Structure 1
Amino acid sequence: MGERKITLFKGGLMSNRAPVAIVTGASRGAGRGIAIALGMHGCIVYVTGRSEKTGDHALPGTIYETAEAVAVAGGTGIAVRVDHSDDEQVKALIDQVLNEQGRIDILVNNAAAVYDELTDPGNFWEKPLKLVDMIHVGLHSGYVATYYAAPAMVKQKSGLVIFTSASGAVHYVYGPAYGAHKAGMDKFAADMAVDFKDANVAVLSIWMGALLTDRLKMVIASDPEKYGSLESMTESPEFSGHVIWALFNDAQLMEMSGQTVIGAEMAVKYGIKDEGGRQPLSYRDTHQVEPRIQYPNIIR
């Protein structure tokens, strides 16, 4: 399995009752933003990913930098190197969190294998086969993390599992691997909620908007004419984290369990605005799409 490196960063004053969160794939992008936002709300945040030093990835960002940012924001950041393609490393992560904290309150399944070639022109067979890794480090790894966290959440009779998704679940975006990943995340939330229902554990999938991350900035710069309009429609990476925190504290959370929600709409519900006081638009307005509703039939 290889050596797993662990680094702890402490920020503001923490109580023994501080919520414990795991954010996978948090070296950069959405995961980093969500982790920092949860840190702002005083959480103990386990930050996972593979990037430990500059150069480990073409884009900037490491698990240690994110954990430090969580601490600066007022939480406690714990960096754990995890290769989410390795099920044993994922299990070891969950075991570590339970050994150190005794519980898991929030699990954010965000890790995914995203390659630059995803946005290249062409049909799926004209792009590298490695793009299908989104199914393994994405769907597969999110299932495994939830599988190992589930018994503890069921025992404690509380918890929130989040799958990060987007509107590509219901329309063509970048090809079938991307779409299958997003649709699968939504389906995981719907079906896992059925099994979790009696345990008071909520599961939701969140459609995040286009995030103004380093990756998206590179995409926009690669073809300003094609992608330039995206910048005015973006959300900050932290925005979804604040929405997740509001969901976690909603007394009616279990009534929403199993749903795919649009982050921008949840923000309006909870009175959350993005940086600069912006109110991001819903996919219903920008793309004229909405999440699919699962039928209530249950066959066991």
Structure 2
Amino acid sequence: MTNSESPTAGRADRPLRGRVALVAGATRGAGRAMAVELGRAGATVYATGRTTRQRVSEIGRATETIEGTAERVTAAGGTGIAVPTDHLVPEQVAELLTRVEREQGRLDILVNDIWGGDHLVGWDQPMWEHDLDDGLRVLRLGVETHIVTSRYAIPLLVREPGGLVVEVTDGTADYNRRYRKPLYYDLAKSAPLRMARGLGEELSGHGATAVALSPGWLRSETMLDTHFKVTEDTWREGARQNPDFAVSESPLYVARGLAALAADPGRARFNGRSLSSADLAREYGVTDADGSRPDAWSYLEDLEAHQRAGADAGPRPDPEDYR
């Protein structure tokens, strides 16, 4: 029997072969990268979102689509399946999970990466001056979508032991003890941390694990081409505009960490916890595309401490020391 014919062939480089993942919010950024890396590990990945090649969501970016994500998953070695889904519509989410059950008979990994609310946030506005409709939609996009998706996905996920639920947010539990102004953003990014903690309690009796996961300063497509006017190849030019950007990371970094977590048979030790891309890098030895291991949250904490210390603080923290 040749190696290619062996029943164990490929397990080392395809540890998620036979596993089924749903990445909700997989159109771009971390969601797209996580879907691809789960596929690279061998998983079948359902990539959902609102932007397709036929329809663009309210965000207004036609460049990235769920079909494009699914094709990248397949090209990486997995099986990518694009399913247009508005995760604020329970009927659509229920139909999505009915399809996963019909086609796969199981769900092993749920990644709640749904967001899409940045354009609605009034970053410098106090709560009472913030547009109410925009603020409430921020909460719907950042919190309600996660609740609706978990409601319909978890019953399928807990049918087999070992399921993993990942609540993606911005900021670790330690860092988000700070107020992440404005109020609506703070609520939207704190809620997934609490959801992971609560789901961890409820899932523990079903052999499943829930975690919150935060990338650092993410070089998403929007961050690169809209905010800094650079590309992934030229991202360091953005640090000339804002020196702190030197601690940023590509979506691949958190995606590699997630894939390693999903393949870890002992991942239950993290149940209910908040993890960052840097935490996963330290745990599993993964790196960003350039071989570095950025730790944006540690850098920001030290930078804030330096600013509080004032004139006696000494040299400003260097973001390069946190890579």
Give the alignment's TM-score, normalised by structure 1.
Answer: 0.83
Q: How does 1:149-298 map to 2 (within 5 A)?
A: 149-167=153-171, 169-217=176-224, 218-221=226-229, 228-288=242-302
Query: SS where residue 156 of structure 1 aligns?
Result: coil
Tell me which residue corresponds to 1:58. 60
Tell me which residue corresponds to 2:97. 94
Name the CA shift for 1:133/1:230 in 2 (closer, same or farther; >3 Å).
farther
Name the CA shift for 1:258/1:54 in 2 (closer, same or farther; >3 Å).
same
Looking at structure 1, the residues matched to 73 and 244 of structure 2 have their Cα atoms a distance apart, in angstroms, of: 28
- The structural deviation recorded for 1:159 is 0.5
Question: Does the 8 A contact of 2:25 with 2:49 survive in 1?
Answer: yes
Query: SS where residue 197 of structure 1 aligns?
Result: helix
Looking at structure 2, the residues matched to 241 and 67 of structure 1 have their Cα atoms a distance apart, in angstroms, of: 15
Q: Give CA-to-partner distance per residue, 1:116-168, whole Å, 9 cap, x none.
A: 25365433444443143232122111112112122222221220000001227
Structure 2 spans left out of the alignment, 5+ residues? 1-13, 231-237, 304-323
Looking at structure 2, the residues matched to 83 and 284 of structure 1 have their Cα atoms a distance apart, in angstroms, of: 35
Query: SS where residue 121 of structure 2 aligns?
Result: helix
Query: SS where residue 146 of structure 2 aligns?
Result: helix
One-letter amino acid of the counterpart of residue 109, structure 2: I
Query: SS where residue 290 of structure 2 aligns?
Result: helix
Looking at structure 2, the residues matched to 226 and 177 of structure 1 have their Cα atoms a distance apart, in angstroms, of: 30
- The structural deviation recorded for 1:214 is 1.7
One-letter amino acid of the counterpart of residue 73, structure 1: A
Tell me which residue corresponds to 1:107. 110
Question: Does the 8 A contact of 1:201 with 1:254 survive in 2?
Answer: yes
Query: SS where residue 279 of structure 1 aligns?
Result: coil
Tell me which residue corresponds to 2:72. 69
Given the alignment of the two structures, is residue 136 of structure 1 paired with residue 140 of structure 2, yes or no? yes
Q: Give CA-to-partner distance per residue, 1:6-65, whole Å, 9 cap, x none.
A: xxxxxxxx9995211111111111111111111211111101011112771422201111
Question: Does the 8 A contact of 2:121 with 2:184 survive in 1?
Answer: no
Looking at structure 2, the residues matched to 38 and 152 of structure 1 have their Cα atoms a distance apart, in angstroms, of: 19
Looking at structure 2, the residues matched to 158 and 64 of structure 1 have their Cα atoms a distance apart, in angstroms, of: 29
What is the alpha-carbon root mean square deviation over aligned residues? 2.6
Name the CA shift for 1:121/1:225 in 2 (closer, same or farther; >3 Å).
farther
Count of aligned pairs between the two proteins: 276
Q: Give CA-to-partner distance per residue, 1:260-279, whole Å, 9 cap, x none.
A: 11221221111000011011
Looking at structure 2, the residues matched to 114 and 61 of structure 1 have their Cα atoms a distance apart, in angstroms, of: 16
Looking at structure 2, the residues matched to 99 and 15 of structure 1 have their Cα atoms a distance apart, in angstroms, of: 24
- The structural deviation recorded for 1:226 is 10
- The structural deviation recorded for 1:225 is 8.8
One-letter amino acid of the counterpart of residue 152, structure 1: L
Larger radius of gyration between Structure 1 and Structure 2: 2
Looking at structure 2, the residues matched to 66 and 158 of structure 1 have their Cα atoms a distance apart, in angstroms, of: 26
Structure 1 spans left out of the alignment, 5+ residues? 1-13, 290-300
Q: How does 1:10-89 map to 2 (within 5 A)?
A: 18-53=18-53, 56=56, 57-59=59-61, 60-89=63-92
One-letter amino acid of the counterpart of residue 198, structure 2: D
Q: Give CA-to-partner distance per residue, 1:176-213, whole Å, 9 cap, x none.
A: 11111111100001011111111110000012111111
Name the CA shift for 1:282/1:228 in 2 (closer, same or farther; >3 Å).
closer
One-letter amino acid of the counterpart of residue 222, structure 2: R
Question: Does the 8 A contact of 1:205 with 1:260 survive in 2?
Answer: yes
- The structural deviation recorded for 1:86 is 0.6
Looking at structure 1, the residues matched to 168 and 206 of structure 2 have their Cα atoms a distance apart, in angstroms, of: 22
Q: Identity of aligned pairs, percent?
A: 29
Given the alignment of the two structures, is residue 147 of structure 1 paired with residue 151 of structure 2, yes or no? yes
Question: Does the 8 A contact of 1:206 with 1:261 survive in 2?
Answer: yes
Moved more, 153-162 or 180-189: 153-162
Moved more, 48-57 or 33-42: 48-57
Looking at structure 2, the residues matched to 38 and 283 of structure 1 have their Cα atoms a distance apart, in angstroms, of: 25
Query: SS where residue 138 of structure 2 aligns?
Result: helix
